[in-house]
A and B are shown apart, each in its own frame.
Chain A
């Protein structure tokens, strides 16, 4: 795909894996998506290779600010294995040698 010549355009990137910016997150919250889970399902934020390790906290902070609640009250999404991407061939192989 074509590489942008200039990438320093003042964007604040929240989800590095899926390229979701802060303005997109704020738009979604304004549209009525008020949980991390909903935002994740609509935008894919948190579904990339790092599984939300970078963006989850930043999204939680935005939600807390937008909804006027302490960050303690922002519900966390469900955590399921695997914690990082695994090839299907790895699971199928198990412990067998090549």
Chain B
């Protein structure tokens, strides 16, 4: 028989959004529980070796890998904040507000007055012949292998996708001594920041726009790939197929928010392509249609770590104040955070995100 533990606020996911949310909740005095299924906090930050842009508040100039420790330094000293690592949130039951956690041997039930879901996003798959061959890896997997475990993913990588992740991981591969034989992008232009693409060009990596991978070659592991040119309707142009020798095909074709728990919680959901897929509809303070549920970070829409930290803080402040906990200068902080978010989203690539966020926000910004 399991006990029912009780907390004020449970935060699911200890990536940048979850860490920021927990800090805000902890500062308010709320009894807060932060859980993550990995054995240590950080989410995607643990593989991010590049320096952050943006303002000082969003750790500009700091490398992603250094950020979890900065949060943990403060969180570990808060007596009202509990941390559970190696704990997978397997379900949320909206009628009772109960979160179930398991690690393959123990099973814990937590009753939370508010739940902040910061579960991040997952790699989008790509359908092509033999896409399931060993050696076809998501970009996140390649980054994890290299930057967290210090193991080379292979010797010759074909990168698929020219968004920031595809560009950055390609550069990280080169730093680790791996050859990037080519980068293919199905669209007619590069998706990510041109400053990253320029680094790759200088390193001699061919960037082939209007190209995609159509087949993975190899008996039981990747030994090569067939790439082909595509037209504006994503159709392969016959006769343009070329073989490329590689031992890893790295898919960096986008992320999609991990929102299972929002569906379980009965939240109103909307399909927003600019944000990566289905996301919960929310108000300006990150509250979902279910008043006990808040969303933060990539699981509310795929952006980046800086935006995740801001939306996490907004969700934390809102959840805490909704329970009557005092957050000093809450309104001023929220205004400043929303302004920071607008600034991050103000570049040319941010236009689509802004439109997507607007689509995912309830009319008038309030429930």
A-B complex is real: yes
Query: What is the interface of chain A, defined by CB distance below 8 A to chain B?
Result: 5-14, 16, 22, 51, 53-55, 57-58, 71-72, 76, 78-84, 86-87, 90-91, 93-95
With beta carbons under 8 angstroms apart, the residue of A57, A78, A84, A95 that contacts B106 is A95
B291 within 8 A of A: no
With beta carbons under 8 angstroms apart, the residue of B93, B104, B132, B278 that contacts A90 is B104
- Please name all residues of chain A whose beta carbon is closer than 8 Å to the beta carbon of B329 when the two chains form the complex: none
Interface flags for B199-219 (1: CB within 8 Å of A; 0: not) read 000000000000000011111
Closest residue of A by beta carbon distance from B266:
A79
B96 within 8 A of A: no
Known contacts A8-B133, A12-B127, A90-B105; is-contact A81 B93 (Cβ 8 Å) = yes
A interface, over-half SS: loop
Closest residue of A by beta carbon distance from B99:
A81
B300 within 8 A of A: no
- Please name all residues of chain B whose beta carbon is closer than 8 Å to the beta carbon of A72 when the two chains form the complex: 271
- Please name all residues of chain B whose beta carbon is closer than 8 Å to the beta carbon of A58 when the two chains form the complex: 125, 127
Known contacts A6-B219, A81-B264, A82-B100; is-contact A91 B107 (Cβ 8 Å) = yes
Contact present for A82 and B125 (CB under 8 Å):
no
- Please name all residues of chain B whose beta carbon is closer than 8 Å to the beta carbon of A95 when the two chains form the complex: 2-3, 106-108
Contact present for A81 and B90 (CB under 8 Å):
yes
Known contacts A8-B217, A57-B256; is-contact A82 B129 (Cβ 8 Å) = no
- Please name all residues of chain B whose beta carbon is closer than 8 Å to the beta carbon of A80 when the two chains form the complex: 91, 264
B241 within 8 A of A: no
B331 within 8 A of A: no
Q: How far is the CA of A50 from the CA of B305 in the complex (A)?
A: 25
Contact present for A7 and B220 (CB under 8 Å):
yes
- Please name all residues of chain B whose beta carbon is closer than 8 Å to the beta carbon of A87 when the two chains form the complex: 104
Q: Write the nearest CB–CB distance from B120 to chain A, whole angstroms.
A: 12
Q: Write the nearest CB–CB distance from B266 to chain A, whole angstroms.
A: 10
Contacts A/B (CB < 8 Å), 5 sampled: A8-B220, A10-B215, A51-B260, A83-B88, A95-B106
Contact present for A82 and B124 (CB under 8 Å):
no
Closest residue of B by beta carbon distance from A92:
B107
With beta carbons under 8 angstroms apart, the residue of B2, B102, B219, B269 that contacts A82 is B102
- Number of B residues contacting the other chain (C-beta, 8 Å)? 43
Total A-B Cβ pairs within 8 A: 96
- Please name all residues of chain A whose beta carbon is closer than 8 Å to the beta carbon of B187 when the two chains form the complex: none
Contact present for A86 and B263 (CB under 8 Å):
no
Contact present for A90 and B106 (CB under 8 Å):
yes
- Please name all residues of chain A whose beta carbon is closer than 8 Å to the beta carbon of B332 when the two chains form the complex: none
Contact present for B271 and A7 (CB under 8 Å):
no
CB-CB contacts below 8 Å: B121-169 with A: 122, 124-125, 127-133
- Please name all residues of chain A whose beta carbon is closer than 8 Å to the beta carbon of B171 when the two chains form the complex: none
Q: Write the nearest CB–CB distance from A10 to chain B, whole angstroms.
A: 5
Known contacts A57-B277, A83-B88; is-contact A22 B127 (Cβ 8 Å) = yes
- Please name all residues of chain A whose beta carbon is closer than 8 Å to the beta carbon of B278 when the two chains form the complex: 76
Contact present for B256 and A90 (CB under 8 Å):
no
Known contacts A57-B277, A76-B278, A83-B89; is-contact A12 B128 (Cβ 8 Å) = yes
Q: How far is the CA of A23 from the CA of B127 in the complex (A)?
A: 12
- Please name all residues of chain B whose beta carbon is closer than 8 Å to the beta carbon of A7 when the two chains form the complex: 130, 133, 219-220
- Please name all residues of chain A whose beta carbon is closer than 8 Å to the beta carbon of B122 when the two chains form the complex: 53
Contact present for A93 and B106 (CB under 8 Å):
yes
Q: How far is the CA of A11 from the CA of B216 in the complex (A)?
A: 10
B35 within 8 A of A: no
With beta carbons under 8 angstroms apart, the residue of B128, B216, B217, B263 that contacts A76 is B263
Residue with the highest number of chain A CB atoms closer than 10 Å, among B88, B106, B219: B106
Known contacts A57-B125, A83-B89; is-contact A94 B256 (Cβ 8 Å) = no
Closest residue of B by beta carbon distance from A96:
B106
Contact present for A83 and B91 (CB under 8 Å):
yes
Q: How far is the CA of A95 from the CA of B260 in the complex (A)?
A: 24
B195 within 8 A of A: no
- Please name all residues of chain B whose beta carbon is closer than 8 Å to the beta carbon of A86 when the two chains form the complex: 90, 102, 104, 107
Q: How far is the CA of A53 from the CA of B122 in the complex (A)?
A: 8
Given A12-B128, A81-B92, A94-B1, 20 new contacts (CB under 8 A) = A7-B130, A7-B133, A11-B130, A13-B131, A14-B127, A57-B125, A57-B256, A58-B125, A79-B260, A81-B91, A81-B93, A83-B90, A86-B90, A86-B107, A90-B102, A90-B105, A93-B105, A93-B107, A94-B107, A95-B3
